[in-house]
Amino acid sequence: MEKQKVAISIGDLNGIGIQLALENHKKVSQIAEPIYCIDSIMLEQAAEKLNIPVPNHFRTVEEIAPSFEIKPGKVTKESGAYAYASFLKAVQMAKAKKVDAICTLPIHKKAWELAGVHYKGHTDALRDFFKCDAIMMLGCPKMYVALYTEHIPLKEVAGSIDEEKLTQFLIDFYHTAKPATSVAVLGLNPHAGDDGVLGDEEKMITQAINNANQFLSTQCSALNAPFEGPMVPDVAFTPNTRKYYTHYIAMYHDQGLAPLKALYFDEGINISLNLPILRTSVDHGTAFDIAYKRAKLNHLSYFNAIQYIVGV
Ligand SMILES: NC(=O)c1ccc[n+]([C@@H]2O[C@H](COP(=O)([O-])OP(=O)(O)OC[C@H]3O[C@@H](n4cnc5c(N)ncnc54)[C@H](O)[C@@H]3O)[C@@H](O)[C@H]2O)c1
Ligand SMILES: N[C@H](C(=O)O)[C@H](O)COP(=O)(O)O
């Protein structure tokens, strides 16, 4: 059978992404056909700095963005611009159906900002490119967490809880994540508001859960209310509760990702749902603290991100 073609955006070249790409090429090539969105000049520079030979059949793409000097572990505008251009190239290849999916190596958000990119990350860029309500979901088969709000300041979270939007989010999530068991929807406030004593956003969350369950039951009468909640956030991730759920909906970034990364940082991946293209990513960042230091990296997140594509 023909291997799936995957465009790999190279991420921030001042970080660990390129080391992951070089060290995993042989293994990745056994299950997929990777095309790396980096040009030969930048590839040679990175490989030399890392003292890792460029593997055979490491297929690259020319004319990404102007070459620049790699500064290990530094936040630079040039590296941000290159990372963004590499991501754009991967998206273009997917749009043109030259590849089956894209896998993104980590970018640095400040470097994107310095380069004038107004997106906070890949997900909101993809949302804009495809005019679709992309959903950010991270995790592994033992536990997936989707984020209702993601890269916004914490002070804006409560005001973003909206019955209609959350209802649509839940319906989209159900159709694209296809959870096999009940999904735990978290409350926002401590103790999920404790019946209005500690906040009342849970009223809207309850309504959205009911709306989504009702809508989905009209589509499939055999379906028995897939969404449950609002669950008390500090209890939802206890070992006992996790026996019953693999899929969680968090109201904000760290509510869901702090427990997820505490449990499954090494193996977790990031999947963009509800888009016309398939995009996965590592669940970690640029790791500037260990970039170009011959550090022994964790490869699992990257490999799992490729394996998810191949397995779909
Ligand atoms: N997919 C992405 O593009 C993505 C994902 C997460 C964070 N980020 C961005 O990355 C930048 C840095 O984020 P951060 O410092 O908070 O988190 P980070 O994940 O880069 O680093 C956190 C810690 O984990 C270690 N680490 C990360 N990946 C590792 C690996 N594969 N092997 C071994 N150790 C590893 C780092 O050395 C560091 O000590 C930020 O701008 C953040 O927004 C991007
Ligand atoms: N929230 C993600 C994480 O913590 O891993 C990360 O910032 C990546 O986001 P994008 O997929 O939007 O780049």
* CATH number of this structure's domain 1-132+275-312: 3.40.718.10
**Do the Cβ atoms of 177 and 275 come closer than 8 Å?**
no
114 pocket-lining for ligand 1 (C-beta < 6 Å): no
Work out the end-to-end distance of the chain between its first and last CA atoms, rounded to an integer number of angstroms.
15
Residue 312 pLDDT greater than 70, yes or no: no
Calculate the CA dihedral of residues 111, 114, 115, 118 and round it to 10 degrees.
Answer: 90
**Chain segment 132-149, per-residue pLDDT in tens:** 999 999 999 999 999 999
Q: According to the annotation, is 175 in a ligand binding site? A: no
pLDDT in tens, 278-311: 999 999 999 999 999 999 999 999 999 999 999 9
Ordered by start, the domain boundaries in the chain are 1-132+275-312, 135-270
Whole-number mean pLDDT of the chain?
Answer: 97
CA-nearest residue for atom 4, ligand 2, is 283
- What token pair was written down for 166? 């959350």
CB distance 260 to 145 below 8 Å: yes
Which pLDDT tens digit goes with each residue over 99-119? 999 999 999 999 999 999 999
In whole angstroms, give the CA distance from residue 162 to residue 186.
14
Instruction: Say if residue 109 carries a ligand binding annotation.
Output: no
Q: Is 286 in the pocket of ligand 2 (CB under 6 A)?
A: no
Assign residue 191 a region (left: φ > 0; alpha: ψ between -120 and 50; beta: otherwise).
left
- pLDDT tens digit sequence for 75-95: 999 999 999 999 999 999 999
Q: Check if 123 has its Cβ closer than 6 Å to any atom of ligand 2.
A: yes
Q: Is the CB of 37 within 6 Å of ligand 1?
A: no
Among 16, 108, 151, 253, say which to mutate for ligand 2: greatest number of ligand atoms within 8 Å of CB. Answer: 151
Q: How many residues does the chain have?
A: 312
Does this chain's domain 1-132+275-312 share its CATH topology with 135-270?
Answer: yes
**What ipTM describes this predicted complex?**
0.98
CB-based contact 17:82 (threshold 8 Å):
no
CB 297 within 8 A of CB 16: yes
Q: Which residues of 135-167 are buried (b: 16+ CB within 10 A; e: fewer)?
A: bbbbbbeebbbbbbbbeeeeeebeeebebeebb
pLDDT-based confidence at 47, cuts 50/70/90?
very high
Q: Do residues 191 and 229 make contact, with C-beta atoms less than 8 angstroms apart? A: no
> What does the angle CA 172 – CA 174 – CA 180 come to, to the nearest 5 degrees?
165
**How far apart are alpha carbons 312 and 177 in whole angstroms?**
12
Residue 269 pLDDT:
98
pLDDT at 104: 98
* CA 2 / ligand 2 centre spacing (Å): 31
The neighbouring-strand residues paired with 140 are: 143
- Distance, CA of 267 to CA of 299 (rounded, Å): 9
Distance 187 CA to ligand 2 centre (A): 22
Q: Which ligand is nearest to the CA of 110?
A: 1
Nearest ligand by distance to the CA of 107: 1
Mutating to test ligand 1, I would choose from 75, 107, 257, 284 the residue with most ligand atoms within 8 A of its C-beta, which is 284
What distance in Å separates the CA atoms of residue 231 and residue 193, rounded to the nearest whole number?
10
Ligand 2 atom 2: residue of nearest CA: 283
Strand partners of residue 186: 231
Per-residue pLDDT reduced to its tens digit, 149-188: 999 999 999 999 999 999 999 999 999 999 999 999 999 9
Cβ contact 302:11 at 8 Å:
no
Beta-strand pair 247-250/227-231: unpaired
Q: What residues does 103 pair with on adjacent strands?
A: 8, 280
Bond preceding residue 230 cis, omega within 30 of 0: yes
Q: Does the pLDDT at position 220 exceed 90?
A: no
CATH H-level superfamily of 135-270: Isopropylmalate Dehydrogenase (3.40.718.10)
Instruction: Give the separation between CA 197 and CA 204, rounded to whole angstroms.
Output: 15
At how many degrees (to 10) do helices 122-130 and 77-95 cross? 40
pLDDT digits (tens, 9 = 90+) for 235-245: 999 999 999 99
Within a 10 A sphere around the Cβ of 39, how many other Cβ atoms?
21
- Tell me, using a 6 A CB cutoff, whether residue 231 lines ligand 2: no
The pLDDT, as a whole number, for residue 223 is: 79
> Of the candidates 98, 107, 103, which has an alpha carbon nearest to the alpha carbon of residue 8?
103
